[in-house]
Amino acid sequence: MNSTKPAGFGIRFLASIIDFLIISSILGIIYYIINGNYSIEWTNEFTFRFFYTLYLTIIPILWGGYIIGKRICKIKIKRFKDDKNVTLLNMVMREVVGNYIVVLATFGVSVLVSGLMVIFRKDKRGIHDFIGGTYVSRE
C-alpha cells in the first residue's frame, strides 16, 4: 500500500450514513410511486438490500472508487496492493462476500469486529477490506 492516509472509522461511518439516507430516499420515492404507500420497514426487504448492495458494488467501479457519501466526505476505495482503482472482483468480494454473506453468516458480529479493526488497526482495514483486497483512503 502506497498511501499513508487511510480513512478512519468516523469519516467512513459518516459517509455510510450519507449514502444510506440518499439511496433509501431515492429508492423510497420509487417504491412509493410503484406501490402507492411508504413505510420505513421496506428497507428490511430483500429488494432494498439487493439494490443497495448492487449500488455499493457497481458505482465504485464506474466512479473511480467513490460512491456518493465517500465523494462528499473526500474518501475513496482503492486496491490495497497497488493503490489503483478497484475492479469488479474487488468490489464483489468486498460488498457481496465481506459485507453481505459474512455478515449474515456471523449474525452481524463481523460488523462489530470490522468496526473495531478500523478503529484500532494502523492501516484502518476491516474484514470486508481484507476479503476484497481494498482499503479506504483520505484524499
For 10-36, the pLDDT digits (tens) are: 999 999 999 999 998 898 888 889 888
Question: How many angstroms from the chain centroid is the CA of residue 17?
Answer: 10
Nearest CA among 87, 105, 18 for reference residue 26: 18
pTM to 2 decimal places: 0.89
The pLDDT score that the predictor gives to residue 2 is: 52
The pLDDT score that the predictor gives to residue 45 is: 78
Domain ranges of the chain: 9-138
Side chain identity, residue 61: I
For residue 79, what are the β-bridge partners?
A: 134
Nearest CA among 6, 2, 3 for reference residue 123: 6
The pLDDT score that the predictor gives to residue 44 is: 76
Name 113's Cβ contacts closer than 8 Å, sequence gap at least 6.
126, 127
Successive 10-residue mean pLDDT values, the chain, 139 residues:
80 96 89 81 80 95 97 97 96 96 96 97 97 95
Cell representation of residue 135:
482499503
